[in-house]
Chain A
Amino acid sequence: MKLGRDIDLPFSVALAAAVAIALVLAAAFAPLLSPFDPTDIATYNLADSELPPRWTLDGDPRFLLGTDNQGRDLYSAILYGARVSIGIGAASVLTAALFGITLGLVAGYFGGAIDAAIMRVGDVIMSFPTILLALLVAGLARGLIPQASSAAWTPVILIAAIAIHEWVQYARTVRAATMVETAKDYVKAARVIGLPPTRIMLRHILPNVMGPVLVIATINLAAAVLTEATLSFLGVGMPPTYPSLGTLIRIGNEFVFSGIWWIATFPALALIVLVLAVNVVGDWLRDRFNPKLRGRE
């Protein structure tokens, strides 16, 4: 964790970071920035449906980016949609990191059968691509929990569906780092004087592995947002009454060839810009931490 003064931040990375932060803030304060609340079903007015963006010939001054097929303001829907997408992405990254770090610490510190068990489960999970596993979890949840596709439950399931695959990466990295640290004298000494394992892990080992974890988390955030969008596009994601960017694209896709291009285009642009910005930052972080990561493996 040496983020010293002598870091030269390339312009593109600075720009990307600014864009990412701006998008996250816009999403966080969506209720303040949006002229309408797209999740309040009572405000939908079919009479306003499928209006093109404001600057076009048939545009309506009330709707900057036009409206969707329910008469919902697309600009508001995108802000709220970004909120949902980022929220689900960040929550799944946090969940995965939390589980991954904990399991990685435990596996690396104790070794033996616990280590083997955790890492084998991880191997099995890594045998599947994220998208297939996520489809499975989403499907399974729908079958087991009758309320699974309601607006309240879907985010939880999506978070679980994405996190179930991603935690393994954290666990592997943290485990490797933990093994290195555990072998060092100061940890051995701490063990001898009888410090509790949780204290050793949290105080002495954890700070040393946070750098690589941060890199993985940034890159995973972009991937998680994309996975959520794909699930929503395939129809197992957020419902239309509480749309994510992926849901908006799914809805818009039905209108792409009918000349109603804006419903799919603007959410898709928002999604690409968001993911791109996060990826640029993640890439840069990875390049900086790469030597360190390699050294640990």
Chain B
Amino acid sequence: MAGLLLSRLLQAALVMIAVTAVAFAMFRFVGDPVRAMAREDSTPQERAELAQALGLDQPVPVQYARFVGRVARGDFGISYRNQRPVTTLIAERLPATLELVFAATLLALGLGIPLGVMCAIRPDGAAARLVQSISLIGISTPTFVTGIALILFFAVTLRWLPSFGRGDIVDLGFWTTGYLTGSGLRSLVLPSITLALYQLTLIMRLVRSEMIDALSSDYIRFARARGLPKSRIHYVLALRNALMPVITVTGLQIGSLVAFAIVTETVFQWPGMGLLFIQAVSFVDIPVMAAYLMFVGALFVVLNTAVDLVYAIVDPRLRKAKG
């Protein structure tokens, strides 16, 4: 167990080192922050002063060393674009993204599990086939197309739902939430559907295949033979067995959702971290991009490590296999 823990932590550290190096390299060599920030009619002298003030006149290894040093202290610098500490910016944007991801996950689980069960119980029924076909179309449609179509239909044509932003939000000091206002909830609908669609398909298919496996296992046959009610067999016995992998995958996928939110947030102008990242890319806002990258990296490392360790605890067989 200690060995596994150690190797996991080592791997986590490795990931984070790779991430900081890539973050720094990309952001040091892409574009020219000075020219991006200076106005079009600035003088060459003004620009030189700027480069010096930003430390860009130093040798690259020195810049990298300084970068890592600051990151280690939890200082991600100041955003070039809106001159505020990156940590503050991320903290401000985090609630928006997490609330979106949370809503999308709920939606995906809430719809994906029942649909998956349905498809497993009657795999050849008309409903199951329809759901299967729609789910294939779902994973074949790019997120941005879905988003644009939803805006066009529900916001512009029908005017039922807002097309952008979070609506009215409530500031709780440490967190801003859109869950407490009518307009906040309404604003959440279209983006969370867009983001959830892919996830929903994934969960549905997973539940379906796990359920089919579980339904053909011996103890379900035994339960059937004993004459237990069908609903109890399906929803309690079989589903309980199918849920473990679903929960694992959902957990692992949260990281992907945060990253995939880049596209959804761009389409819906959702003021989360993904939008922050894309805006930072177009302004060559180095500190923000670096921090975002490291945040997503860290999120993945934590989720992966946690899932692995939980598995190791739950399933003793894995301790040897994976260690």
Which of A's residues lie within 8 Å of B, judged by CB? 120, 123-124, 127-129, 131-132, 135-136, 139-140, 142-144, 222, 226, 229-230, 233-234, 246, 249, 253, 256-257, 264, 268, 271-272, 275-276, 279-280, 283
- Chain A residues contacting B262 (CB-CB under 8 Å) are 131-132, 135, 234
Asked if B136 is at the interface of the complex by the 8 Å CB criterion, the answer is: yes
Flag the segment in B74-82, B89-97, B292-300 that touches A: B292-300
Q: Would you call B144 and A233 a contact (CB within 8 A)? A: yes
Could you mark each residue 189-227 of chain B with 1 if its beta carbon is under 8 Å from any beta carbon of chain A, else 0?
000000000000000000000000000000000000000
Most buried by B among A128, A144, A249, A256: A128
Given contacts A128-B300, A139-B26, A143-B30, contact A233 B260 (CB under 8 A): no
Given contacts A132-B296, A256-B148, A272-B145, contact A279 B259 (CB under 8 A): no
- Chain A residues contacting B55 (CB-CB under 8 Å) are none
Q: Would you call B137 and A272 a contact (CB within 8 A)? A: yes
- Chain A residues contacting B136 (CB-CB under 8 Å) are 276, 279-280, 283
Interface residues of B toward A: which range? 35 or more
Asked if B88 is at the interface of the complex by the 8 Å CB criterion, the answer is: no
Q: Would you call B26 and A226 a contact (CB within 8 A)? A: no
Q: Would you call B140 and A275 a contact (CB within 8 A)? A: yes
B311 CB to nearest chain A CB (Å): 14
- Chain A residues contacting B144 (CB-CB under 8 Å) are 230, 233, 249, 253
Besides A139-B281, A140-B30, 9 more A-B contacts (Cβ < 8 Å) are A120-B14, A127-B300, A127-B304, A129-B255, A140-B26, A143-B29, A249-B145, A272-B141, A275-B140
A14 CB to nearest chain B CB (Å): 15
Asked if B170 is at the interface of the complex by the 8 Å CB criterion, the answer is: no
Asked if B245 is at the interface of the complex by the 8 Å CB criterion, the answer is: no
Q: Would you call B256 and A129 a contact (CB within 8 A)? A: yes
A75 vs B144: C-alpha distance when bound (angstroms): 22
A139 vs B244: C-alpha distance when bound (angstroms): 38
Please pick, from A230, A257, A264, A276, the residue contacting B156 in the complex, using a CB distance under 8 A. Answer: A257
Please pick, from B14, B142, B296, the residue contacting A124 in the complex, using a CB distance under 8 A. Answer: B14
A142 vs B32: C-alpha distance when bound (angstroms): 12
Chain B residue nearest to A129 (CB atoms) is: B259
Q: Would you call A271 and B142 a contact (CB within 8 A)? A: yes
Q: Would you call A131 and B26 a contact (CB within 8 A)? A: no
Within 8 A of A (CB), among B138-156: 139-145, 148, 152, 156
Asked if B181 is at the interface of the complex by the 8 Å CB criterion, the answer is: no
Q: Would you call B14 and A234 a contact (CB within 8 A)? A: no
Q: Would you call B297 and A127 a contact (CB within 8 A)? A: yes
Asked if B11 is at the interface of the complex by the 8 Å CB criterion, the answer is: yes
- Chain B residues contacting A128 (CB-CB under 8 Å) are 259, 296-297, 300
Is chain A's binding surface mostly helix, strand, loop or mixed?
Answer: helix
Asked if B119 is at the interface of the complex by the 8 Å CB criterion, the answer is: no
- Chain A residues contacting B301 (CB-CB under 8 Å) are 127
- Chain A residues contacting B281 (CB-CB under 8 Å) are 135, 139
Chain A residue nearest to B29 (CB atoms) is: A143
Given contacts A127-B304, A129-B260, A142-B30, contact A136 B140 (CB under 8 A): no
Q: Would you call B255 and A124 a contact (CB within 8 A)? A: no
Chain B residue nearest to A12 (CB atoms) is: B133
Asked if B184 is at the interface of the complex by the 8 Å CB criterion, the answer is: no
A115 vs B26: C-alpha distance when bound (angstroms): 28
A220 CB to nearest chain B CB (Å): 13
- Chain A residues contacting B143 (CB-CB under 8 Å) are 230
A279 vs B142: C-alpha distance when bound (angstroms): 13
Asked if B31 is at the interface of the complex by the 8 Å CB criterion, the answer is: yes
- Chain A residues contacting B30 (CB-CB under 8 Å) are 139-140, 142-143
Given contacts A136-B26, A226-B142, contact A120 B297 (CB under 8 A): no
Question: Top 10 nearest A-B pairs by Cβ distance?
Answer: A143-B30, A143-B29, A276-B140, A129-B259, A275-B140, A127-B300, A132-B259, A129-B256, A140-B26, A124-B15
A172 CB to nearest chain B CB (Å): 13
A145 vs B35: C-alpha distance when bound (angstroms): 18
A129 vs B145: C-alpha distance when bound (angstroms): 20
Asked if B247 is at the interface of the complex by the 8 Å CB criterion, the answer is: no
B130 CB to nearest chain A CB (Å): 12
Chain A residue nearest to B262 (CB atoms) is: A131
Given contacts A139-B281, A140-B25, contact A222 B142 (CB under 8 A): no
Given contacts A132-B296, A264-B148, A276-B136, contact A234 B263 (CB under 8 A): yes
Please pick, from A123, A264, A279, the residue contacting B140 in the complex, using a CB distance under 8 A. Answer: A279
Please pick, from B11, B29, B137, B255, the residue contacting A140 in the complex, using a CB distance under 8 A. Answer: B29
A132 vs B260: C-alpha distance when bound (angstroms): 8
Chain B residue nearest to A276 (CB atoms) is: B140
A233 vs B262: C-alpha distance when bound (angstroms): 12
B204 CB to nearest chain A CB (Å): 13
Asked if B20 is at the interface of the complex by the 8 Å CB criterion, the answer is: no
Within 8 A of A (CB), among B7-24: 11, 14-15, 18, 22
